Structure 1
């Protein structure tokens, strides 16, 4: 079968022919129908990210996957061939260590992928594979940030810095939980327009001289929650100055840089906080599938393009260069 393989030592990515994998005990083999291309895939290729738990030095990329069950391993009783499923982006071992699919073990940029049975989530027949595959990570990461880490309450004023693959979904999800106003912050005009289309109450340019006054005017004095989905130090510096009393800054983007609080006196007096966020838990994916099933969540606008698996390198370049300002590009084997 064809697979998109990363050779970690020299960061060489290539489409290669590899054997079709056989499912082991309590595993299933998935015929991949759609696989998302995430910025973390780009960072694995360019060397910004490195697998920590990969046993070898070659891995099939792709952690956003949907398809149909093709074959069952031994002792799999609750699933049947032909069922439509998406795969959780990773799994925990008995010690609680998280292994990420497409990073620490082979992922879904391939014609077939293996998955432990506990990482399968059934999807409804009317949810397209292209939309289902991005729920783990692209949608579940901001959903967990909004609901679990920030514990965003209805009526809270929120700011979303970075309206890309994660932030665009955060805008939709914040509106879904009743946050108000939802203010998108992005230097790119196309991203700000996209945020308004997705339901933001306002979209501001962080470099505009009137930015601070505009945001404070919209919120009546500051943000209850600020989300950094950009992973940029300047975003944290700016957001921290715009928090209201008991305001929370949630770091969902990764900058690999120190987080600096200008002065502890106002930070302490106003009882503000900085919260780290990473990924999501299985229940967040299940919640989002339920929301999609009930048509509370429309992910069609998130699909910026569908390319054949053989053009994975082109998809990576498009995302890396932001060609067409994509939310998510999808590979189809």
Structure 2
């Protein structure tokens, strides 16, 4: 097998090793596609060259090559996606109970289960109902995915917020009714408007991963509404506006540490992909080879107007 590993700040190398052997409850998967995730950019940026190399990549789709003794539900040749690690490789081990079949006819790069499972699980805890006014703050990969998932619940109004005009255009194409830059959100949708609260969203989904995004999201949610923090706040202190307390807002932590819940959400999300009610096609904008992992993270870091999500193809 061949795999990429990080050996220094912003520097990876591809090496060769023996194919791993699956344990009793594992499957060995020939990786076909692996998404490049924001949660991995920290180790890629800062890895100490004196430390052991690290392997990244956990958003995998692949073909089963071998199974452990107690993984008999899978057969060589099955196309699967699921929860795993060390995915920037030609071969990877995955927990047999944390993978699911890819819907027939779906390209591997458009069937990555883990990210959409994260979004669907978070959204499921907001209590979203038909007719609700919903806002998505942050229209990168996660936010645009949330736009698609929220749209299927028939919201009465779906608002997107992002400083990037290209992202706002994408959000409108994917189902937002309105899209604004943070500084241009109309007064009727903000808590400092002094107007009736009914105009404001009852559910606000924060997908920025930065404190200013949290501040914008908090200002938009109406009293007794729900703020779901889906953004990956991986550095510093994410300060919460105490006005949320005075508005009796329910704050939902969009992160889910439970693999059983994530696999259940992944099953639902893959069903949406099969039914063409969710699609990665408008979100996967950049594709890279195994020897281009550094370029993939660099494109994510730069986040130009044409970038939404990168995938490493093998």
TM range (shorter): 0.7 to 0.9
Query: Aligned in 2, Cα 1:125/1:262: closer, same or farther, shift over 3 Å?
Result: closer
CA distance in structure 2 between the partners assigned to 1:327 and 1:162 by the alignment: 12
Per-residue deviation at 1:258?
Answer: 4.0
Does the C-alpha gap of structure 1 residues 257 and 109 become closer, same or farther in structure 2, counting only changes over 3 Å? same
Instruction: Answer yes or no: is 1:239 the counterpart of 2:217.
Output: yes
Matched with 2:98 is 119
Q: Which residue of 1 aligns with 2:3?
A: 3
| Contact kept? 1:161, 1:185, Cα under 8 Å | yes
Query: What TM-score results when the alignment is normalised by the length of structure 2?
Result: 0.88
Gaps (5+ residues) in structure 1? 51-55, 89-100
Count of equivalent residues? 302
Q: How far apart are the structure 1 equivalents of 2:111 and 2:34?
A: 9
Structure 1 residue corresponding to 2:82, chosen from 84, 87, 101: 87
Is the 2:6–2:53 Cα contact (8 Å) retained in structure 1? yes
Tell me, in whole angstroms, the C-alpha distance in 2 between the residues paired with 1:58 and 1:157. Answer: 47
CA separation in 2, counterparts of 1:258 and 1:331?
A: 31
Q: For the residues of structure 2 that align with 1:77 and 1:285, how far apart are their CA atoms?
A: 21
Q: Which residue of 1 aligns with 2:57?
A: 62
Which of 199, 224, 228 is the aligned partner of 2:206?
228
Partner of 2:123: 146
CA distance in 1 between partners of 2:211 and 2:306 (Å): 22
The match for 2:230 is: 252
Alignment partner for residue 212 of structure 1, among 186, 190, 202? 186
Partner of 1:140, secondary structure, is helix
> SS in structure 2 opposite 1:108?
coil
Task: Identify which of 162, 167, 174 aligns with 2:143.
Answer: 167
Tell me the SS of whatever aligns to 2:33: strand
CA distance in 2 between counterparts of 1:302 and 1:236 reads: 23
Give the structure 1 partner of residue 32 of structure 2.
33
Q: Within 1, Cα distance between the matches of 2:177 and 2:243?
A: 31
Shift of 1:212: 3.5
Q: Is 1:193 the equivalent of 2:169?
A: yes
Q: In the TM superposition, what whole-angstrom CA distance separates every residue of 1:314-333 from its partner, at most 9, and x where no partner exists? A: 11111111135322211112
CA distance in 1, matches of 2:88, 2:132: 39
> Does the CA contact (< 8 Å) of 1:3 and 1:16 recur in 2?
yes
Aligned-pair distance for 1:112? 0.4
TM-score w.r.t. the length of structure 1 is: 0.83
Task: Give yes or no for contact 1:141–1:166 (8 Å, CA) kept in 2.
Answer: no
Give per-residue Cα distances to partners, 1:155-208, cap 9 Å, x unaligned. Answer: 111111111110010001100112231100000000100100111111001123
- Tell me how far apart the structure 1 counterparts of residues 239 and 227 of structure 2 sit (CA, whole Å): 11
Instruction: Tell me, in whole angstroms, the C-alpha distance in 2 between the residues paired with 1:312 and 1:301.
Output: 21
Q: Structure 2: any 5+ residue segments left out of the alignment?
A: none
Q: Deviations over 1:220-258 (max 9, x none)?
A: 521111111101212222322222121111111133314
Question: Are 2:61 and 2:109, in contact at CA under 8 Å, matched by a contact in 1?
Answer: yes
TM-fit CA distance, 1:259: 2.6
